[in-house]
Structure 1
Amino acid sequence: MTAIRPAVTLEHLSHSYGKTTALYDVSLHIPRGATVGLIGPDGVGKSTLLSLIAGVKIIQTGTVQVFDLNVAEKKARDVLSRQIAFMPQGLGKNLYLTLSIYENIDFHARLFGLNKPQREARIQRLLNATGLAPFADRAAGKLSGGMKQKLSLCCALVHSPDLLILDEPTTGVDPLSRRQFWQLVDDLRREEDGMTVIVATAYIDEAERFEHILAMDDGKLIANAPTKQVIADTQSHNLEEAYVKLLSAENGLHIPPFKPNADEPPVIVAKGLTKKFGDFVSVDNVSFTIPKGEIFGFLGSNGCGKSTTMKMLTGLLDPTEGSATLLGQPIDAGNIDTRKRVGYMSQAFSLYEELTVYQNLELHAKLYQIPRAQWTHYVQSVMGQFDLVQLADEYPSALPLGIRQRLQLAAACLHKPEVLILDEPTSGVDPAARDMFWEYLIKLSREDKITIFVTTHFMNEAARCDRISFMHRGRVLAVGTPETLRLEKKAPTLEEAFIIYLEEQADDITAPKMEKSEKSAVKISGVSTDSPEKGMLAWWSLVWTFAVREGKELLRDRIRLFFALLGPVIMLFAMASSISFDVHPSNFTVLDYDNSSESRRFIEYFDGSRYFVRQPDIHSPQEIHRVLQSSKVKLVIEIPPDFGKKVLQRQMPEVGFFIDGAFPSTAENLRGSVVGAITQYVQETLTQQGINVPNNTVLEPRFVYNQDFKSIFAMTPGVIMLAMMLIPSMMTALGVVREKEIGSIMNLYGSPAGAMQFLLGKQLPYILLAFISYLIMVWISVMVFNVPVKGSMWAMTLGALFIITASTAFGLFVSSFVKSQIAAIFATAIIVIIPTMNFSGMLYPTSTLPSHVYMMAQLFPGYWFLLICLGGFTKGLGFMDFLSSYGALLVIYTVYFCGAVALLKKQEK
């Protein structure tokens, strides 16, 4: 009998993050065609293990072989990228939210080189199988959690992989959607004979459906055997019981029965709550009553209105119809006293990663206005209650998910609330941590009489609630104890009862059109299964795939599109029309103590000059300081008594000139204008008195370019240069870093595309938008600012294309070493603006720069494009005059782009 060759082989695999060991000496074999469930507590290395198998993480120690190929080798990873599909942890992490369902799948199909017939056949097959066909044009961002996970699976399966790796694909998904999800996987495995499936899951009942189980704890394998063998070896009835025994954890959660006090008023009352968003009804006529101390579970399909209902109960949303009371008071967001009696815990982690455990709790004490003298008591008390004392100085980012959720619960309970509202508090948390979490909830309910309103998708958690409600499409289907609702549908389990309730609604979500795929699992026929073509055409088709997807996202993101297209135009209007070195008329006033004909004649030399504008005279020395301080005038002329008499007697009268020196450059220009007016007065006065004034030679300067000597002709080309450097580089950097933040960069890591193809594809849409923006700015310069293009428009436009490619390449370069969009904005802006404005010649002549700074200036593209822009606008230059600038920009672009490619790795550390 021939032994089955392994799909995955790991030997002595270890991996660390700093001082934290995620995996320690893991060795295993996974046979081809097997289905494997991976379970374990939070933070034990499950995601790291899957990432290493998928080839998206760099191997530190040990070996990983997939289909007999060494994953550590780049050539092997390139081959395996077409055989492996990796779906990372998180709802829709490999999706693009502005793209439609069809466009998302089509992008992934193009990424793996499928031709048009293959794409159309496989996309339609997957849409029909998942029930997503009626919603093919709906944006991914508008889908419920279950539909997002189905779409993510479609994207992963579109290229028919041999190895499917799923990292907690159904976390946060309702039971019916989970059933449909796994039914789809089973159907596709029947079609794709020999597909190996490895799944990490937080749902132990899901793991039990797989043929083989891998259990992990503390970075090590504690079980590696067929599922039935694991259950038998631990002498357990099911896998969850076996899992708890493997972890040496205590099993069995004792829940004292709830005994409501009929004499106490209910804590939460909802009557006919309805919430509409336009024509869409999110919550439809919801009513329930929750007594003091009860644990009330709120269950429903994804997108059914649970979170909207919770927001109405906390005052974050106003109901369209109906009413609700909380602790006997009508719900009002402005009622601070009532809000202090409520604790709220969101599904997503909402505390501060930059603060330690203790500091986060102390901050909550401040927010709930607990007296400062009692902060320490409250914080220490809640840390002891939730076993956080040993973690006081730890940062949340270093804690496992289960402990992070416990910290959130501690923060919600810090101010001793009477009501706790918890939105899927254990989503993604392992079973042992969930049990520990529920121990705290039960203690709060039974001992502290805190009313708990909780949403969950875990049926074993729902069974622990005193009462539960089932919700779908905004309506409550049933309310009662878990056992009552199970018996009402005569179902063997609560999960089966819940699914029956939903299926009775018979809509497109609960009853997708899967009949054809269930009746016959037929492979897609009439489609070539040959490997994707290779060569330059295939290489550039991947570049085009990224470019088209980025272009679609840009067109649908109005804010990014606005800044990319009109940001440079706004800069041109703001800077070119406001930055000027022209000498404009300055306001002046006169304090004339003489008031003679000669003093008035002296003033006329200022009053008649185009450099001065006279304002009403002042009449006291005290007013000099006032008018200068208020900036009403820039110059005050003080004429002393007997001024005219001394002039006629050929004496030297003193005249006071008070100049506002707040802006040195303006003051210096004003001083020169004053000296000029005085010189003209003196010369003409001496001539009238018969004194011969030497007729010195007068030099009249004539400017070769910009004969009017106006700043607008110099500033406009400079602003265009700055705008083409700043905005395209910022937008390109954001485009790449955004993918790192949302996690869609995984599509690059797990695909056949290279870093160069990805970066070129990302760059092209921004080049196009920046080029359109450049044309708009040139039109505005000519038509609005009356700055003509005297040289070759085509030559200047070619230079613009070079500067745009260089600036966008610089944005790609910056994106390679920053991790957040905020960091990308600031880093790009600072690095671009300072050298561009100071070293390009925009504000200061480059000839005035020290030699080493001048050499450095030539390393920035702004220096070279300003030469092109000035030559095109003012000097009448053409192609041949710009050849050196073209060459320099091309070299700079090559350096930036190659640096970006080198720094962008296709694997995580």
Structure 2
Amino acid sequence: MNAVNTDKPLDAQVADSARPVVDVNNLMKRYGDSIAMDGISLQVQAGEIYGLIGPDGAGKSSLLKVVAGVLAHDAGDLRVFDCLIDSEKSSELVKDRIGLMPQGLGQNLYGDLSVEENIDYFGGLRLLSKQELSSRKEALLRSTRLDKFRDRPMKNLSGGMKQKLGLVCTLIHEPKLVILDEPTTGVDPVSRREFWSILARLLKEKGITALVSTAYMDEASRFHRVSLMHAGKVLASGDPEQIKALAVGTIVSTTCVQMAQQVDAVKLLSQHFPQMEVLGQEMRMFVDQADPVVATKELMQCLDGIPQQHSEVLEPELEDVFIALLRQKHLDNADQKKARQPAEVSASQRHPDQGLAIEAENLSRTFGAFKAVDQVSFRVPQGEIFGLLGANGAGKSTVIKMLTGILSQTSGKGNVAGADVRTSGRQIRERIGYMSQAFSLYLDLSVLENIRLYAGIYGLTRKETAARMDWILDMAGLRPFGKALTGSLPMGLRQRLALGCALIHRPQVLFLDEPTSGVDPIGRRAFWDVLFQLSREENVTILVTTHYMSEAEHCDHIALMYAGRVVADASPEKLKENVEAEAGKLVEIQTPDPQAALDLLQADGYTSAALFGPRIHVLLLDPEADSAKISEMLKPLGTLKIAPKKLSMEDVFVHIVTRLEAQDAQNVQAKGGRP
């Protein structure tokens, strides 16, 4: 079926184009006793990128599968291209105009086939002629910069390259609607940003509409309109700015003059502001007050005279608004949060300061000819939250495995909790807690059974086990779920249970490898509340890896890894200062034609320019002069607005890694193309 019926009169074709590409009304879907979609309604207009944003279990994937025609709904009405989808037969009428990219890295691809063979296979499935396939393939390979890797097997591609190849295979038949299910989950920030840039360009060139799901709240700016989803329902729909206005409130950020008083300040503030988070030395509160002056005054009164070094008012991000909406609708598991009230920590429970808790000195690890970790060095004082960041394959997990004694180093030294990692394996295991990327508990055991199992592994007495079990149940908010099977828990509670089991023997050092992957925003914040308490009150040293760049803000110190090496080592604030000194201040540009503006900026040498939905972010070395130049350059496109934007850790990560990739490319070129 053709995308446009050219036999229709012109006015009928115009009327068709004005109708929604996807029209969802009160859709319902059950899996047994579980409700996946509970009366979902939304409309996707032609030419827009529409985002479904929410945690795992919100109903995003079920909705996408129903729209794609691969899953039947139980009730409600669905129209795609104005065709009522109420049977398998009706869904077949529109499938040739739809491209579906399922969730998971390379899930729609074949590992043993090369890049080109995968594309040819999908072109054959779509019955493209040799000429159509050849011309489209070459254009898409150039757009995604995969043309140099056409002979590489899919299984040997990086995560970002797999997703770009998946996008090519999804677009090869030039669908009018492309459906992407969490296309950037597990992909590093540089690849994520490139993926969105490529997608926006291809959609505009081909006039394609996109329906996209994501668990990353910060990706909302990539979409023209979004629906926030939770527990099978739509909480709110509209453009990101409209949604931000739904929750009235102000973000107030403050920092104590003396860091020793931060714990007391947090306790005072948490009694009055249920929505707060600690980001390193900074405390950030969502105050249910629109007036920033009144909001700041209200916060300062709660601090009871604790002097503050720096305070500022910030615009709420979409994640802040999402959590505020859940809280206002009483959907934020308030009862569970009340149950999580850890007991006061006594002086005897606090680990003593003994200098460095973790020390890596020129750590290296090779696998055959491949060097996974190359001369890595860093130091972590007792009680610090230390972040190890990097793209997939950067070497983060390998470093953790060497420091925990799971993997031996090829060369270099490691010292953890006062013990040499090469010779004191048993001592280290007694002094550390470790939470791996893969969920490490037994799903068919209850919460209490898992805790008892770990207590036995670490040799705790019956009395010690009982005491620690009480602590874990309170710390993780698990007291109401003690007899529940672990497999029945939401991901956030499972992760807090895994954290509790890793802490059952009171370790001095805690290693966490991607601990919040797949956890919803409320669960992630609750998890970090626990880490803050462990660090500040019990003086536990925490080394954590994460793909959520917003979580890097929680760390006191960060080491950024690239190709097995540490390429930056500083606090988040210092890293941001370094990037601003090197590349300039971040600004946001609003223009009627953002894609055309982006092309003009990049052609004029503004290589940091990146598309964020209808806006552009770019670093400017001389903001005043560059803004004037950009205003003149983009004047033909219409009304322009340029405003300063606060630098994020994602901006830092992307800038550093992009610069290093460019240097590597120059080195390869200088060697005549040999890596």
Q: How does the TM-score come out when normalised to structure 1? A: 0.53
From 113, 116, 119, the equivalent of 2:133 is: 119
Cα deviation for residue 11 of structure 1 reads 2.1
Mean alpha-carbon deviation: is it higher for 367-376 or for 108-117? 367-376
DSSP-derived class of the 1:22 partner = strand
DSSP-derived class of the 1:506 partner = helix
| 1:248 equivalent in alignment to 2:327 | yes
| 1:310 equivalent in alignment to 2:400 | yes
Deviations 1:657-703 (A, max 9, x none): xxxxxxxxxxxxxxxxxxxxxxxxxxxxxxxxxxxxxxxxxxxxxxx
Residue number in structure 2 paired with 1:505: 660
d(CA) in 1 for partners of 2:560, 2:408: 23
Q: Is the 1:42–1:402 Cα contact (8 Å) retained in structure 2? A: no
Query: 5 Å matches for 1:397-416?
Result: 397-416=487-506
Cα deviation for residue 507 of structure 1 reads 4.6
DSSP-derived class of the 1:365 partner = helix
Query: 5 Å matches for 1:269-668?
Result: 269-332=359-422, 335-372=425-462, 374-490=464-580, 491-492=585-586, 493=647, 494-507=649-662
Deviations 1:507-530 (A, max 9, x none): 59999x9xxxxxxxxxxxxxxxxx
Cα deviation for residue 26 of structure 1 reads 1.7
Residue number in structure 2 paired with 1:563: none
Change (3 A) 1:137 1:354: farther
Change (3 A) 1:102 1:353: farther
DSSP-derived class of the 2:86 partner = coil
Change (3 A) 1:301 1:318: same
Q: Which blocks of at least 5 consecutive residues in structure 1 are unaligned?
A: 252-259, 514-909
d(CA) in 1 for partners of 2:660, 2:170: 30
Cα deviation for residue 114 of structure 1 reads 2.2
Change (3 A) 1:268 1:475: same
Cα deviation for residue 169 of structure 1 reads 1.4
d(CA) in 2 for partners of 1:248, 1:84: 37
Residue number in structure 1 paired with 2:233: 220
Residue number in structure 1 paired with 2:91: 77
Q: Is the 2:54–2:520 Cα contact (8 Å) retained in structure 1? A: yes
d(CA) in 2 for partners of 1:169, 1:475: 28
Cα deviation for residue 10 of structure 1 reads 1.6
Cα deviation for residue 342 of structure 1 reads 1.5
d(CA) in 1 for partners of 2:61, 2:536: 37
Change (3 A) 1:269 1:366: same
d(CA) in 2 for partners of 1:232, 1:40: 18
Change (3 A) 1:117 1:418: farther
Q: Is the 1:131–1:509 Cα contact (8 Å) retained in structure 2? A: no
d(CA) in 2 for partners of 1:344, 1:510: 37
| 1:4 equivalent in alignment to 2:18 | yes
d(CA) in 2 for partners of 1:503, 1:168: 23
DSSP-derived class of the 2:528 partner = helix
Deviations 1:281-308 (A, max 9, x none): 2111110011111111111122111111
| 1:175 equivalent in alignment to 2:330 | no
Residue number in structure 1 paired with 2:79: 65
Q: Is the 2:352–2:539 Cα contact (8 Å) retained in structure 1? A: no
d(CA) in 2 for partners of 1:509, 1:64: 50
Aligned length: 503
DSSP-derived class of the 2:389 partner = strand
Residue number in structure 1 paired with 2:198: 184
Query: 5 Å matches for 1:795-810?
Result: none
d(CA) in 2 for partners of 1:6, 1:384: 49
DSSP-derived class of the 2:379 partner = strand
Between structure 1 and structure 2, the one with the greater Rg is 1
Change (3 A) 1:261 1:25: closer
d(CA) in 2 for partners of 1:314, 1:270: 12
Change (3 A) 1:392 1:70: farther
DSSP-derived class of the 1:325 partner = strand
Change (3 A) 1:389 1:140: farther
Amino acid at match of 2:221: E
DSSP-derived class of the 1:468 partner = strand
Amino acid at match of 2:214: T
Residue number in structure 1 paired with 2:58: 44
- Report % sequence identity: 43
DSSP-derived class of the 2:361 partner = strand
d(CA) in 2 for partners of 1:23, 1:497: 38
| 1:109 equivalent in alignment to 2:123 | yes
DSSP-derived class of the 1:354 partner = coil
Query: 5 Å matches for 1:192-211?
Result: 192-193=206-207, 195-211=208-224
Residue number in structure 1 paired with 2:151: 137
Q: Is the 1:420–1:451 Cα contact (8 Å) retained in structure 2? A: yes
Cα deviation for residue 363 of structure 1 reads 2.1
d(CA) in 1 for partners of 2:391, 2:166: 18
Cα deviation for residue 353 of structure 1 reads 2.3
Amino acid at match of 2:357: V
d(CA) in 2 for partners of 1:80, 1:408: 45
DSSP-derived class of the 1:98 partner = coil
Change (3 A) 1:367 1:266: same
Q: Is the 1:313–1:331 Cα contact (8 Å) retained in structure 2? A: yes
d(CA) in 2 for partners of 1:5, 1:191: 21
| 1:97 equivalent in alignment to 2:111 | yes
Amino acid at match of 1:319: Q
From 165, 183, 200, the equivalent of 1:151 is: 165
Deviations 1:382-441 (A, max 9, x none): 122110122223333333222222222222222222111111111232322211111111
Cα deviation for residue 478 of structure 1 reads 0.8
DSSP-derived class of the 1:131 partner = coil
Amino acid at match of 1:298: L
DSSP-derived class of the 2:327 partner = coil
Q: How does the TM-score come out when normalised to structure 2? A: 0.70
Q: Is the 1:44–1:217 Cα contact (8 Å) retained in structure 2? A: yes
Amino acid at match of 1:111: L
Cα deviation for residue 37 of structure 1 reads 1.4
Cα deviation for residue 333 of structure 1 reads 8.2
d(CA) in 1 for partners of 2:542, 2:353: 19
d(CA) in 1 for partners of 2:188, 2:120: 27
Q: Is the 1:131–1:508 Cα contact (8 Å) retained in structure 2? A: no
